[in-house]
Chains A and B, each alone.
Chain A
Amino acid sequence: MNALARRLRDSDLAVGAVGAFGLVAIWEIAARTGLVDPQLFPSPLLAIEMAAARLTAETVGENLAWSLFRVFSGFGLGASAGAVIGIAAGWYRTFGMIARPLIELLRPIPPLAWIPLAIIWFGLGEPSKFFIIFLGAFFPVVTSAYHGMRSIDPMLLRAGQTMGLGGVPLLFRVAVPAAAPDLATGVRIGWGLSFGVLVAAELVAADRGLGYMIINERNTGGSVGVIIVGILLIGLLNLVTDAAIGAATKRWIGRWHGT
Chain B
Amino acid sequence: MRARLARFAVSAAVIGAALLAWELAVRFGYLKPYQFPPASRIARGFVELSTTGFPTGVSIWSHTLVTIGRVLQGYLAALVLAIPLGLLIGALPFLDRLTAPVVVFCRSIATLSLLPLVIVWFGAGELTKIVLIAYGCFWTMLSNVIAGVRYVDPMLIRAARSFGVAGIELYRTVVLPAALPRIFAGARMALGVGFMVIVGAEMIGTIEGLGALIMEARTFYRSEITMIGMLVIGMLGFAISSGLAGLERLLLPWSGSLDEVRR
Could you tell me which A residues sit within 8 Å of B by CB distance? Answer: 12, 15-20, 23, 40, 97-98, 100-102, 104-110, 112-117, 119-121, 185, 195-196, 198-200, 203-204, 210-211, 214-215, 217-218, 224, 227-228, 230-232, 234-236, 238-239, 242
Expressed in whole angstroms, the Cα–Cα distance for A242 and B12 within the complex equals 38
Interface segment among B42-50, B99-107, B162-170, B173-181: the answer is: B99-107
Q: Contact string, B223-247, partner A, CB cutoff 8 A, digits 1/0?
A: 1001101110111011001000000
Residue of B18, B112, B196, B223 with most partner-chain A CB within 10 A: B112
Residue among A113, A119, A218 making CB contact with B199, cutoff 8 Å: A113
Contact B238 A203 (CB under 8 A): no
Chain A residue nearest to B196 (CB atoms) is: A110
Contact indicator B11/A196 (Cβ below 8 Å): no
* Most A Cβ at <10 Å: residue of B195, B200, B227, B237: B200
> A116 touching B226 by the CB < 8 A rule?
yes
With A40-B121, A203-B115: A110-B233 Cβ-Cβ less than 8 Å: yes
Please name all residues of chain B whose beta carbon is closer than 8 Å to the beta carbon of A116 when the two chains form the complex: 214-215, 217-218, 226
| Given A102-B15, A120-B218, A234-B113, A239 contacting B100 (CB threshold 8 A) | no
Query: Distance (Å) between the CB of B17 and the closest chain A CB?
Result: 9
Between A and B, how many residue pairs show CB distances below 8 Å?
A: 158
- The answer to whether A231 and B114 touch across the interface, beta carbons within 8 angstroms, is yes
- The list of the 4 closest CB pairs from A to B, nearest first, reads A101-B11, A235-B109, A116-B218, A218-B116
Chain A residues with CB under 8 Å of B102's CB are: 19-20, 23
Contacts from B to A (Cβ < 8 Å):
10-12, 14-15, 18, 34-35, 94, 97-102, 104-106, 108-117, 119-121, 195-196, 199-200, 203-204, 210-211, 214-215, 217-218, 223, 226-227, 229-231, 233-235, 237-238, 241, 263
User: Known contacts A215-B116, A224-B120, A239-B104: does B204 contact A110 (CB below 8 Å)?
Assistant: no
Bound complex: CA A184 to CA B138 (Å): 26
Q: B108 near A238 (CB under 8 angstroms)?
A: yes
**Beyond A109-B233, A117-B227, A214-B116, 8 additional pairs, beta carbon < 8 A:** A97-B10, A101-B10, A109-B234, A113-B211, A116-B215, A120-B34, A227-B116, A239-B108
Are B110 and A109 in contact (CB-based, < 8 A)? no
Which residues on A sit within 8 Å (CB–CB) of B97? 12, 15-16, 19
Q: Are B119 and A218 interface neighbours, CB within 8 A? A: yes
Residue contact A20 to B218, C-beta cutoff 8 Å: no
Could you show 13 A-B contacts with beta carbons less than 8 Å apart?
A19-B98, A20-B102, A97-B10, A108-B241, A109-B230, A109-B234, A110-B195, A112-B199, A199-B112, A200-B200, A203-B200, A224-B120, A235-B106
- Judged by DSSP, the binding face of A is helix
Known contacts A110-B233, A231-B113; A204/B10 CB under 8 A:
no
Given the complex, which residues of A lie within 8 Å of B34, measured CB to CB? 120
CB pair B119–A120 under 8 Å, yes or no, is no
Among B18, B97, B227, B235, max chain A CB count under 10 A is at B97
The reply to whether B101 and A19 form a contact with Cβ atoms under 8 Å apart is: yes
**Separation in Å of the A151 CB from the closest CB of chain B?**
10
* Identity of the chain B residue whose Cβ is nearest the Cβ of A117 in the assembled complex: B226
> Given contacts A120-B226, A227-B120, are A203 and B233 in contact (CB under 8 A)?
no
Smallest Cβ distance from B224 to chain A, in angstroms? 11
B residues less than 8 Å from A203 (CB atoms): 112-113, 115-116, 200, 204
Within the complex, the shortest CB–CB distance from A75 to chain B, in Å, comes to 14
Q: Which of A106, A113, A115 is the most central at the interface, judged by chain B CB atoms within 10 Å of its CB?
A: A113
Give CA–CA (A114, B241) in the complex, Å. Answer: 20
The answer to whether A117 and B230 touch across the interface, beta carbons within 8 angstroms, is yes
Most central of B14, B108, B196, B218 by chain A CB within 10 Å = B108
- The 8 Å CB contact of A114, one of B12, B109, B116, B230, is B230
Given contacts A15-B98, A117-B230, contact A110 B116 (CB under 8 A): no
Q: Which residues of A contact B35 (CB under 8 A)?
A: 120-121
Inter-subunit contact A234/B110 (CB<8 Å)? yes
Are the CB atoms of B112 and A17 closer together than 8 Å? Answer: no
A204 touches B200 (CB 8 A): yes
A185 CB contact (under 8 Å) in B106, B116, B263: B263
Check A199 against B113 for contact (C-beta < 8 Å): yes
Q: B232: shortest Cβ distance to chain A, in Å?
A: 10
Complex Cα gap A100–B234 (Å): 16
Give A147 to B196 CA distance when docked, in angstroms: 23
Query: Would you call A238 and B109 a contact (CB within 8 A)?
Result: yes
- Interchain CB contact under 8 A, A117 and B211: no
Query: Which residues of the partner chain A approach B121 to less than 8 Å between Cβ atoms?
Result: 40
CB distance B101 to A20 under 8 Å?
yes
Residue contact B110 to A195, C-beta cutoff 8 Å: yes
Q: Which residues of B contact A218 (CB under 8 A)?
A: 116-117, 119-120
Q: How far is the CB of B260 from chain A (nearest CB, A)?
A: 12
